Chain A
């Protein structure tokens, strides 16, 4: 009686195990912990098929905030981290969790806000713009998730001389979510928000939002890539991970990055530094 159900279940289970076996056994795949900006902007969707066609290596991307991605790597759950918060990356390497950090590419941050610009900051430099937003208590959405963009935003506040931890009021909304969610929130509330340009260009739910501040040298956003240290975590696939890093900083990978465009706009600018540090 129940035996048919049981055998059916075991058949399903074996199906699953058998189904995941090839991928477990297949050594030609790596896990890359990266940021929501690289995934949400569509860069990986464009770049990884090129890499796979070239090398046969499958890259599995876990898109998290920079802080969480580094944590995932610290626990040994990723082979490579590809993020954008240089001080945290250097700390990661210094602690021995990463082998070496390589510059890969940059884009820039932009300050987004409603077209009506209630704080009147359009075209200002970023430091003035943030001071004005704080002074007028205009609605501002912060990622609040320890991501690279969040770290960059906090660094910008430090440059304004405002201690945001004590100055923040109801106007300053920390949502603790990814870039896309932050843009959705800003769009719904007509608030200001700091975004990386790549995610902004590919974002589809802009509502009344437009770019208000851009091109300031403080808004530079560098991406770096690090192989997780196999001495800390023997499960790290160092050859395949290094192959991915080597390809990204090679002329071919760099050309690939430059070739990713949405509506004719280039999203990321390659600037690999072969030496690493």
Chain B
């Protein structure tokens, strides 16, 4: 047992494998969060602004989908991306691209649902002015998203946090391949199954610290730019 390095020793010695895992985790989850923002924020704004029959159903559905089980998303995408599945010919199963895809699907509902709430509140305030200025549907969406940008940081962080923390989806579509699709969370699961509980816990602490740092950075940026731009 003494020959097993602890997670902190790996950090101090700058272990390249650990560095690679951390980088991949961040790359995958940040990309998924960015993609999900590009898809989910306009979607949420649309759900906030457009009145149509069955809108209440869509809103409830969107809110419920915030709790999508990662393992179900992973399984569904596995069947989709598998060589025997409809998207099999692209051969992206067991690659980082598949992991980004899965996490994006997982967090689009989170970002969309939180965006809808934020945009709807702002729309109540802006409705008369924007209508009086004859702002078209597209202009309304971009205006509201832009003016709500500081609140939307919170929605984005919720999505990113979920992506960084989940293991079910990336495990299934990524395959936890050493040096290729191994992320912080799948590495933790692996070390746990090897009985390396201290190493697993150490990796868990590193993950928590990283997520904490990203949250702090995002909040810091938010506070700083809010002070610059808006009251």
Contact = CB atoms under 8 A, between A and B. Distances in A.
B126 interface: no
B101 to A, nearest CB: 10
Contacts of A36: 193
A204 B94 contact: no
A20 to B, nearest CB: 5
A272 to B, nearest CB: 24
B119 interface: no
A205 B194 CA distance: 8
Nearest to A182: B193
Interface stretch (A59-67, A102-110, A154-162, A213-221): A59-67
B185 to A, nearest CB: 15
B97 to A, nearest CB: 5
Contacts of B146: 1-2
B30 A206 contact: no
Given A2-B146, A60-B175, A204 B196 contact: yes
A20 B196 contact: no
B153 to A, nearest CB: 12
B96 A16 contact: yes
Interface stretch (B161-169, B176-184, B202-210, B212-220): B176-184
B27 A19 contact: yes
A180 B38 contact: no
Interface residues of A, number: 44
Nearest to B100: A16
A177 B195 CA distance: 14
B145 A2 contact: yes
Contacts of B30: 12
Given A63-B176, A180-B192, A183-B195, 17 more contacts: A1-B142, A2-B146, A9-B35, A20-B96, A24-B92, A31-B94, A40-B190, A60-B178, A61-B178, A75-B82, A75-B84, A77-B94, A180-B193, A181-B192, A184-B192, A204-B196, A205-B197
Interface of A: 1-2, 5-6, 8-9, 12-13, 15-17, 19-20, 23-24, 31, 36, 39-40, 44-45, 60-63, 74-77, 177-181, 183-184, 187, 202-206, 233, 235
7 contacts: A1-B146, A2-B142, A13-B34, A60-B175, A180-B193, A184-B195, A204-B1
